[in-house]
Amino acid sequence: MKRLVVAAVLLLASGTVSLADGLFWVVGNRATGKCAIVTSNPVIIGDIWFGDGPYKSRADAKLARLTIRVCPPVTPEQEKEEDGAN
């Protein structure tokens, strides 16, 4: 019985950790005047002045960034750099 409980706890813990992977946030950076897509929950302090998310995919985060008024439009060159970096 104890083995079953331990196995269930380990399975639940590993499932919870894996749910956090693959999430994306849109953050506004006051220093650069741009909005970036990040893969970790942002801490709103200093130059980071807002965070929006989480989103389940990078495509969802890009779509959300288009709808945020304070985010400047992304040029095709910047988009290629983003896609190449990740």
In this model, does residue 5 exceed pLDDT 60? Answer: no
Closest CA to 37 of 19, 20, 17, 22: 22
Question: What confidence tens digit (pLDDT) does each residue in 10-63 have?
Answer: 565 544 444 557 999 999 999 988 999 999 999 989 988 999 999 999 999 999
List the beta strands (DSSP E) in 1-86.
Answer: 24-29, 34-38, 48-55
